[in-house]
Structure 1
Amino acid sequence: MCCWCCCLECIHNIPPLNLLFLHFDSTSAPGHEEEEEPEEAPVASMASISVPDRVPSPAEDAENIRKAVQGFGTDEKALIEILGHRTAAQRAEIAVAYEGLYDQTLVGRLQDELSSHFKGAMTLWTMDPAARDAKLAYKALRKKGGERHAWVLLEVACASSPDHLVAVRKAYCSAYDSSLEEDVAACALYKDPLRKFLLRLVSSYRYGGDHVDEELARAEAAELHGAVVSKKEALHGDVVRIVSSRSKPQLKATFQRYKQDHGKAIDEVLEGNRSDKLSAMLKTAVWCLTSPEKHFAEVIRSSIIGLGTDEESLTRAIVSRAEVDMKKVKEEYKARYKTTVTADVIGDTSGYYQGILLALIGPE
């Protein structure tokens, strides 16, 4: 039994109805005219993965994956070349085609064929993003060893769009027969006020518009300063209310007003309280909400520097941002650490695990 729970396999392959018969070759029907290829799924401008100019059909990709995992040995390079250069929508279509053709889930076959950190990276990458984050959150709620595991919950709640967080909550319920919210509320690994803060964050649904109330930003900047600096309560009730409920544009305006009125950015103030774990958690939330590239650059660096490599954190950061803002993460990393993500990954990893990470990081 591999270390990855297989209960999510039923989630990531749930197909739209129009994809159920992708594995049938439409050109085999006599007199059937060849259909035009569908348009490629767009890649976000800050994403780092590359997609070929001509993307094979999902059925063709599924067949090539089957060839790579059949017989004596596995063609890991072929798996990287295919799955490492497809968007989430394309990977979902491949998964549907694969299961339709071979009566086995794609993730299940990868888990059977691959090993070690390469298996972990390929499994996370192939999963539906919402199911992946649900899995990461589930594991984080059951890991002892400090507040750094709470980073996962902060990433899911704060570095995601409101709709993605809703999708994660749905995936969590489907996989574990409980809600993310109730599991956070019952988690004995975190104590109040951190637990209440995490609960408010994972339960939130932020307004997604661009409207900013400048007067509210001024008032709430003062409230934040009063709680964090004057009362020295990083997770004071006012702080939790503001950070867990306001839209990201509103929070950016509030934090800008904070710096304007008090001469120092709120994350700098929190960084100065390094001995305070609650201040560290709030700083992470602030970064994930307003500039997630800062947080993920730090995750990558901290997973590499020191004795040994934290492959789980390294994999999580690269896999989760490759289709979102890895280009910005790489820029932040280079500016802060005077080296590149690529150079550090090459220096600290090896083999096919390194290969999939480099494919997702992209050129720099």
Structure 2
Amino acid sequence: MAAIGNRGTVTEAANFNPEADVQKLREAMKGAGTNEAAITEVLAHRTIAQRQRIKEAFKQSVGKDLADDLSTELSGNFRTVVLGLLMLQPVYDAYELRTAIKGAGTEEACLIDILASRSNDEIKTINAFYKKKYEKSLEDDVSGDTSGMFCRVLVSLLTAGRDESEHVDEAQAILDAKEIYEAGEARWGTDEVKFLTVLCVRNRNHLLRVFDEYRKVSGKDIEESIKREMSGNLEDVFLAIVKCVRSRPAFFAERLYKSMKGLGTTDSVLIRIMVARAEIDMLDIKEQFQKMYGKSLHSFIKGDTSGDYRKILLELCGSE
């Protein structure tokens, strides 16, 4: 599940001048009230690397931390988005995971969204940043906050040991499909370990063959069987792995749709995906969203959020 080329809506700003951006941000924070539009104009149109240079220039010229100043000036969801944009990608992921674990109750959806969708290298980097920042291993924190087979799946993903080659072992794919079937649909009760061994270890191409073979063996799609055999967080994490193997952009499109559909918006999910994917594959996510739901992601955000929070998300989303 290695990343494919840059398909983000946020790209490098031409004629980039960090000192000029610092001046704009300082002006935006001067006096009574804050000019959120000016902050959006700068930060939503710079890459993560460019934002790091702005942070350095701000500290040099002001002697203060830009994130600290913005945190004092801003509030609510707009502040959450802005502070997320100022972090390096693995730092942001580590921060989100820490928040999910250490808040009131665990936000399992965050653990699933991140750990089921990141590459081995990304997970290794998240682990390293987490240890450095919080002085505890992410695995220890996850193990202390989750339990049972759900915990075992997350720990397996945290080892970053997935085969990332493109090799497909045909005989093994047929055997894997047969063993998953025999571990679930074909017996009373479910041997979840067999699902873990295949779904958390095999490479993407191999798993796609396993899913094809599984349909032949069982007459059902693997997702349908997971829904029948599992429940709760375990069902959610196995489904997330399958969906990410098939299409990461489609997985994120569905998560965005569900975060905005129905009563109220799940702001944490919406913000996390928009901030994390803006520079990676937001163009692909938008295409999938349109294809899956017959409406643009842009129009959904416009109709489901408000104020400066909406404006900055729309900038990250890119044009209609």
Question: TM-score when scaled to structure 2?
Answer: 0.90
CA distance in 2, matches of 1:260, 1:320: 37
Q: Which residue of 1 aligns with 2:50?
A: 90
**Alpha carbons of 1:65 and 1:183: their partners in 2 closer, same or farther (altered >3 Å)?**
same
Q: Which residue of 2 aligns with 1:46?
A: 7
**Alpha carbons of 1:160 and 1:137: their partners in 2 closer, same or farther (altered >3 Å)?**
same
Q: Deviations over 1:221-248 (max 9, x none)?
A: 2222222322466661121122222233
Q: Which residue of 1 aligns with 2:35?
A: 75
CA distance in 1, matches of 2:8, 2:176: 33
Q: Which residue of 2 aligns with 1:63?
A: 23
CA distance in 1, matches of 2:199, 2:39: 41
Q: Which residue of 1 aligns with 2:302?
A: 346
Task: Give the RMSD, CA atoms, in angstroms.
Answer: 2.4
CA contact (8 A) 1:234 1:282 kept: no
Aligned residue runs from structure 1 range 249-260, under 5 A? 249-260=205-216
CA distance in 1, matches of 2:175, 2:315: 46
CA distance in 1, matches of 2:132, 2:86: 18
Query: Which secondary structure state, in structure 1, belongs to the residue aligned with residue 220 of structure 2?
Result: coil
Q: Deviations over 1:313-339 (max 9, x none)?
A: 111121112122222222222222222
Q: Which residue of 2 aligns with 1:101?
A: 61
Q: Which residue of 1 aligns with 2:255?
A: 299
Asked if residue 202 in structure 1 is aligned to residue 158 in structure 2, the reply is yes
Q: Deviations over 1:270-318 (max 9, x none)?
A: 3456855532331122223442223222221222122222211111121
**Alpha carbons of 1:91 and 1:232: their partners in 2 closer, same or farther (altered >3 Å)?**
farther
Letter in 1 for 2:223: D
CA contact (8 A) 1:154 1:201 kept: no
CA contact (8 A) 1:293 1:325 kept: yes
Q: Which residue of 2 aligns with 1:281?
A: 237
CA distance in 1, matches of 2:194, 2:230: 21
**Alpha carbons of 1:332 and 1:102: their partners in 2 closer, same or farther (altered >3 Å)?**
same
Q: CA deviation at 1:352?
A: 0.9
CA contact (8 A) 1:155 1:288 kept: no
Asked if residue 142 in structure 1 is aligned to residue 102 in structure 2, the reply is yes
Give the number of the structure whose residues are more often helix, by fraction. Answer: 2
Query: Which secondary structure state, in structure 1, belongs to the residue aligned with residue 140 of structure 2?
Result: helix
Q: Deviations over 1:73-100 (max 9, x none)?
A: 2221111111101112111222222222
- Greater shift after overlay, 209-218 or 101-110? 209-218
**Alpha carbons of 1:93 and 1:256: their partners in 2 closer, same or farther (altered >3 Å)?**
farther
CA contact (8 A) 2:19 2:54 kept: yes
Question: TM-score when scaled to structure 1?
Answer: 0.79
CA distance in 2, matches of 1:338, 1:273: 31
Q: Which residue of 2 aligns with 1:151?
A: 109
CA distance in 2, matches of 1:340, 1:346: 10
Aligned residue runs from structure 1 range 264-343, under 5 A? 264-271=220-227, 277-343=233-299
CA contact (8 A) 1:221 1:257 kept: yes
Q: Which ranges in structure 1 are unaligned for 5 or more consecutive residues?
A: 1-42
CA distance in 1, matches of 2:171, 2:283: 34
Q: Which residue of 2 aligns with 1:28?
A: none
Asked if residue 248 in structure 1 is aligned to residue 204 in structure 2, the reply is yes
**Alpha carbons of 1:274 and 1:245: their partners in 2 closer, same or farther (altered >3 Å)?**
closer
CA contact (8 A) 2:143 2:155 kept: yes
Q: Which residue of 2 aligns with 1:173?
A: 131
